[in-house]
Every structure is written in C-alpha cells, then in structure tokens.
Structure 1
Amino acid sequence: MATETATAERTRATPLELFFDLVYVFAFTQVTHLMADGESIRSILGGLAVLGVLWWSWASHAWLANQQVADRGPVRIGILAAIAIVLVLSIAIPEVYPVAGESLFGALLFSIGFVALSVVYTAVNIVAARGDRALRRQVLRTMGVTIVPVSIALISGALLGGTAQLALWLAAVAIEGITIYLTSQGGAWLLPSAAHYAERHGLVVILALGESIISIGLGASHSPLTPAIVLASLTAVSVALAMWWVYFGRVSERAEHNIDAMTGNRRTATATIGTYLHFGIVAGILLASLGLGGAIENIGAGHPPTPFNWTALATGLTLFLATTTAYSGVAGNRIATPSHSGAAS
C-alpha cells in the first residue's frame, strides 16, 4: 500500500519540484546571454557546454523525484540544497570563461559547485533508496563511474582556461552522458510514473520557451518603439508559438501514453533516450531565442539581422525539429502492445 501511495503521488510534480525548475529560468537566460557574448561559434559551443552541465543536474533530479516522493525526508532536503547550488552556478555563468589575466573564480565556482551538487545528489539517492539494495547498487555504480572523470575535466578546464577549457568542458558533458547511459543498461533505475516524466519534461520545455519570450521582450525593450519593432516581435513570437505547437500539439501527450503502456527495461530505456533528446529540444529553443532576440535588437538599431542572428536561428530550429522528430519516433509512435489493462496485469 505504501508503494502504491508513493507512486500515485509521483504522477504529478510537487510544488517543490516546480520551485526547483524555476531556478532554471534564470540559468537559461544566463546561458543565452553567454552565447550572445562575442557572437561566434566559440561562444555558442561555450554556452552549450554550460547548458549541458546544467542539463544533467536537472535531469538527475527529475528522475530522482520520479522514483522517490520529492517533498519528504532526505529528498526534500536534497532538492532544497540543489536549488541553492544551481542558483550559485547560474550567478557564475557570465564569468565561467575568463580571458587571460582575469580571475578564475567564476570558472572554479561553477565547476566545483557542480561537483558538490553531484555529491549531494548521490548521497540523497543512497539514503532515499535504503530499502532497495538494487537501486543503491545502481546509484553507486552510475555515480561512482561518473563523478571522478567529470570532476577532473571540469576543474582542470577551469584552471587551464582558453581552448583547453572549452574542450574539457564539452568532454565532461559527453562523459557524463555516456557513463550514465552505459551503466544504466539493464540496471535498477525505474520509471514509476510516465505522467510525472512527461510533465517534468514538458515543464522544462516551457521554461526554455519562456526564455525565448524574455529574449524577444528584452530585444524590443532595448530599442525605440517603432512599427518595425512591433512587426519583428510578432514574427518572433509566431516562431515561439510554432515550436510550442510542434512539441505540445503533436508529440508530448502521445509520447506520454505510449511510455505509460510500456513495461520493464523497455519503458526505462525509452524514457532515458527521451531525456537525452530533450537536451537537444531545449538547446534548439535557446539557440532560436538567441537569434530572435539579437535580430530584434539589430532591427531596433536600424540594421538588418546579422549572419550570426540568422545562423543561431536556423541552427536552433533545425536542432529543435530534429530532436523533436526523433523523440516522436522513439516514444510518440503508436506501439503494438496488448491493451493497457492486460499489460498492467
């Protein structure tokens, strides 16, 4: 009975989880500004590296709250601590890539902060899973393999700076993704609630779309109000609305139903791939918002959008459509299974 009650409570995100997600609104805004600084491929890659680090922190806690009740006991304490740490990481973002002669404090704060967040997350998982030996072994296996190389890459990059930092931070994002995936195959990670999974992933997409609205609004507010600015803003909002419709109108609900109909390792594996693809969905939205916001600022200054604006917009939309389509293919297509009641029995 206790297990059934806990599972029922995980069918929807708790207020604490919603509070946790809110800190990522600020984080996403900081990432977009970081990518805009310098208007180059390097600045985009640097922003994606930071976004990747943030993404693993968000995804880990989203899965934790699916397996454990988020607003009770050690999990509640862990999420409250995570909110504070992610805020600190977000504050550090503008200074994570210092040029020669500048302080390394921002880069070190971000990298060491993420390591601390990973350690806290691991400890909370172990304590929360005290009645499930298989899950505790899974946590130790996954995080034990992941934390050391990721920590070395992030801290070494912060100390080295320059191109080495960018390469090591991108490597850290890739290492975490690869080690989590490989150590999770056939493991003890579970997905008790497909509804909770779909809601949390839908909410993070909403947060990214909210950042696009912020970028559009800031771009317009930094310019004199003219018919051209109004028209450009309406066009940009139409792009954001189209992305909303593609994800929520065409993919999200159907994916939730199909994942809910799956069982066992297939269910967990499909949801895991979905989490990876949502990184591309969110990154695509942020890149598109980067292009839209910059284009509006240029139009307000009396200049046409720059090649960087168009490149960011086109790359973002392409990435968003590619990963959304892939998510639809993995989880959104109708699957040939017995009736839902038969599968549950």
Structure 2
Amino acid sequence: MRPQQPNDRAVTWEELFFDLAFVFALTRLAHLLHEDHGWAGSGKALILFVVVYWIWGGTGFYTDRQSVGTASGRIVILTLGFAGLLLGITIPDAYGDRGLLFVSVALSARILLGIVTLRNVPLWRGFLLTPHGMIVVTAPLLLMGALTEGTTRIVLWAVAVVVDVSSPLLVRGPVRTIRVQPRHYVHRYGLLIIIVLGESVIQVGTVSIDHPLTPIRLLALAAGYALAAALWWTYFGYGVHEFRLALERAGNQARLRRSVLINGHLLFSLAIIAIADGLADVVEGPLETLSGGEMTRLVGGCALFLGTFAYTHWRMRREIAWRRLAVAAACFVLLPPATVLPALAALAVLLLLVGGLAALEELFRHRHPTRPEDAEFEQMDPGPVTNE
C-alpha cells in the first residue's frame, strides 16, 4: 500500500469559486433540456454538456498538476470561471445566434488549459499526442458547425464531441505516465456529483414555486427529494472511498482515470440530469400520466446511474455488482407500466427500488466489515473536503 503523499491536498477555495460558474452553466443546460422532452432535444443538450464537461474535467486535471494558490494560478482559474459564466449565458441560444460565441469561449478555455497544464511538454511528441492536443481536430469541427445552421451544426458538433470523448483512447502520449493526487482528484469529481445533485434539487424546488402547494404536490416534492438523497447516499456511501482507494493502488492510473472518473462521471452526471428533469415533471403534474420520453428520463436515468456504478465497480475490482445490476434491470422493467401509472405512483416505486438498494448496501457493509486490505486506507481517509 503506497502511503499518502504530503502534497495530496484537498480541493482549494479557488476551485470552489470556479465551480460557481459551472453551476450556472449546468442550470442553463437543465432548463434547455426541460424545454424539449424529445430525443432531438436530449441529443442537443448532451452535445453542449460534453463541451462544458470537458472544460471542467480539464480544469480539475490542471489544478491537480499546478498550484492555484499563487497569483498566476488564481488568474488562470478566475479566467476559466469567467469562461464558464459566458458559456452559461450562451447555452440557451447556442443552436441559434450565439453559437459562434459559445464555440469561441469553449475553444479559448481549452487552449488556455492546454497551455498551462502541459507547458513543459514538447509540442509535437507531447502536447499534440494528448487529449488536449485533439483540439486541432475538434476546433475546426466546432467552428464550422458554428458557421452553419440547423442539422449541419448539430452533426458537426456531435462529431467533435465523439472525438473528444474518444481522445483518451486515441492519443495518450505523456499523460499516461502522470499520476494524479488521489485525494484531490477524487474530491473534484465528488464535488461534480454534489453540483449535479444540487441542480436537481433546485430544479424540483423551482417547479414547485410556480404551482399551488397541494398535499399531493408536497408529497411528490418529498418523494423527489428522497430519491435525490438516495442517489447521494448510494454514491457517497461507497463511491468516494472506493474511487480514491483504486487510484491509490492503480498501476496504470491513467487507464483508471479515463474509465472510472472521466467517462464514468460523465455518465453519472448525465443520469442525474435526466432524473432531475423527470422529477420536475412529476412535481409539476403528480397525478398525471407522463409521456414515454418523460418517464424514460426518470426511470432510465436511475438505471444508467446504477449501471454506471456496476461498470466502475468492475473496472476497479473486476467484480460484478449484482445488486446494482439487478435494480438497474428492475428500473427498465418498471418503464412500460410507469407510462400508464400516475407520475407520483411511478416515482414511489422507483424510490422503493433505489432507496431499498441504498438501505440494503448500508446493511451489508455493517454486516461485512471492511476488507483487511482496505483497513489501512480507511484509517488515513481525511473525510470531507477542506482547504489547505
């Protein structure tokens, strides 16, 4: 077991300030998704989310490699925060008149991140052979898309997003030899989940403000909050500890970062955003029957969340998470009857499944103490995020 390194710091106040701008961009994405419940609307929102997510992930990697407590580091992080604010402003009309501004801001942030993160890496055999270097491919696609309209813009941006998501597999270069600070890096992604869950609570609360608070709607609000809490419990009762432990032990840390944190948390975030949109629909009309698309976001989001956990568990321990896979499958089985049930009834069944899983796993952990090989790690786990 490798001992904790002295520089394995926690998240800093500068990073938390940067997250404020990311919250705003995420809020705009959630509103965009809620306005269009069709598959086309979901796809368009997904494209924009990946663009923003890639900047957030790149910032997390930068702050893990460089100190942001200096004047120059703070200037960089504040500049990236302002870019997040501008992205949030342009998102609602990114497929309209503000598409070029959206792309310009995103590319500027990506270029800045590439420069400050890999400033000591040779250009050709270093920077260009990293995911940051893939901007030479994605930038033309994004710019050409911004200069076109309609379906052409969507297709070009979608291709750029696919290239970005695939880039850690296509080009690795010197990044594969870099080891991140497990405590800091995992806390960054834990904060991402907190941000996305917080947005789901905000979205449900915002919908409630615009409608009479009848007993049925209050019950739907309570059930929606309980589902968000069950998701939180499921993630933080297991995820943060396991993810950090895996990074501490990983021989090929870059591969684990890519599969469990970068790609895994992209799926976690998408699942929570979909669930939040479905919860807003339930609170808006608790006794109504939701459409197939609306219910798919709610039920399918829960299935994706639990399925992603099963995927990350397999990548970390090469073990099948049978309980989570079983509940994910049960969510899919629930989907057809959920489209004919009142929305609140469908939510109640979903809460029973997800909440029951969280309770079952908590009980299982109490009955089965920590594995002997994990005990040393648990003793040095620092707990909540603090500034150092």
TM-score, structure 1 length as denominator? 0.85
Q: Which segments of 5 or more consecutive residues in structure 1 lack a partner in the other structure?
A: 99-103
2:117 paired residue number: 125
Counterpart-to-counterpart distance in 1, 2:173 and 2:136 = 20
Contact 1:254 1:333 in 2 (8 A): no
- Determine whether 1:273 maps to 2:259: yes
2:351 paired residue number: none
Counterpart-to-counterpart distance in 2, 1:87 and 1:96 = 14
Greater Cα offset, 18-27 or 277-286: 18-27
Distance 1:312-1:192 versus aligned 2 partners, 3 A rule: closer
Q: CA deviation at 1:229?
A: 0.7
1:107 paired residue number: 99
Match of 1:12, SS state, is coil
Contact 1:254 1:332 in 2 (8 A): no
1:67 paired residue number: 65
1:331 paired residue number: 316
Q: 2:178 aligns with which of 190, 198, 206?
A: 190
Counterpart-to-counterpart distance in 1, 2:203 and 2:44 = 19
AA in 2 matched with 1:113: V
1:149 paired residue number: 137
- Determine whether 1:48 maps to 2:23: no
Distance 1:15-1:158 versus aligned 2 partners, 3 A rule: same
2:283 paired residue number: 296
Q: CA deviation at 1:76?
A: 2.8
Counterpart-to-counterpart distance in 1, 2:213 and 2:245 = 45
Contact 2:144 2:153 in 1 (8 A): yes
Contact 1:146 1:180 in 2 (8 A): no
Counterpart-to-counterpart distance in 1, 2:206 and 2:317 = 35
Match of 1:225, SS state, is coil
Counterpart-to-counterpart distance in 2, 1:116 and 1:243 = 35
Distance 1:232-1:327 versus aligned 2 partners, 3 A rule: same
1:244 paired residue number: 232
Q: CA deviation at 1:66?
A: 1.3
Aligned pairs, number:
323
Q: CA deviation at 1:144?
A: 6.6
Give percent identity, aligned residues only.
27
Counterpart-to-counterpart distance in 2, 1:135 and 1:331 = 33
AA in 2 matched with 1:204: L
Contact 2:128 2:134 in 1 (8 A): no
Distance 1:313-1:144 versus aligned 2 partners, 3 A rule: closer
Q: Which segments of 5 or more consecutive residues in structure 2 lack a partner in the other structure?
A: 320-370, 378-388
RMSD between aligned residues: 2.8
TM-score, structure 2 length as denominator? 0.76
Counterpart-to-counterpart distance in 2, 1:119 and 1:65 = 15
1:101 paired residue number: none
2:95 paired residue number: 97
Q: 2:208 aligns with which of 199, 220, 223?
A: 220
2:25 paired residue number: 27
Distance 1:187-1:200 versus aligned 2 partners, 3 A rule: closer
Counterpart-to-counterpart distance in 2, 1:258 and 1:28 = 28
Q: CA deviation at 1:214?
A: 0.6
Tell me which stretches of 4 or more aligned residues in structure 1 moved more than 6 Å: 333-341
AA in 1 matched with 2:192: V
